[in-house]
Amino acid sequence: MSSEAQSTTTHRTPIRDSVAATVNPTGPPPTTTASGAAAAIISNPAEVAIVRMQVDKSLPAAERRNYRNVGDALVRAGKEEGLRALWKGSAPNALRAMALNCGALASRDQTKEAVDALLGTNNGVGACVGGAMMSGIVGAFFSIPFDSVKTQLQRMQLPHRSVRKPTK
């Protein structure tokens, strides 16, 4: 690692920590949760299309929608069910992203500090690897319940028009 990269790496965390403490001294920065929520809401239509394409493959042949690609799934869901269908599950998706960001970022920093103290290093490779591993585990732990709800909501669809039974 070059000395310039080393300098940037070692100075970035204290600067970020001081800004975070100024913005919200009692917890994770609100920008962490807000950015996760915003990204999840913006990308929700793509999530809906992907979930529906995955579910479509598991349906019996007579019930499949046979989406050709993500664009086809997006357009057909919007036309057949309305644009609101593209944002099904966006609230749990936003909560999932917020929980993931908070859990992952907080555990990463704490683990890095603990491993650095244990090894007597300052921003060492072991601390970075340990922090990344713990970040993934804790982030997944916090986000899985929201991900489960999000997926259940996004896979719901109205029956295909040709399959609907006439109403009396």
Helices H, strands E: what count in the chain?
Answer: 5, 0
Cα 154 → chain centroid: 15
In a 13 Å sphere around the CA of 159, the CA atoms on its Cβ side amount to 7
Give the predicted TM-score (pTM) of the model: 0.63
Q: What is the pLDDT along the chain (168 residues), one digit of tens a residue?
A: 444 333 333 444 555 555 555 555 455 556 777 888 888 899 999 988 988 898 888 889 988 899 999 999 999 989 998 989 898 888 888 888 888 888 888 888 889 989 999 999 888 899 999 999 999 999 889 888 888 888 887 776 555 554 445 455
pLDDT of the residue at 134:
92
What does the alpha-carbon distance between residue 38 and residue 7 come to, in Å, rounded to a whole number?
32
Element (H, E) at 56: helix 30-58
Write down the residue that tokens 């719901």 correspond to: 156
Element (H, E) at 21: helix 3-23
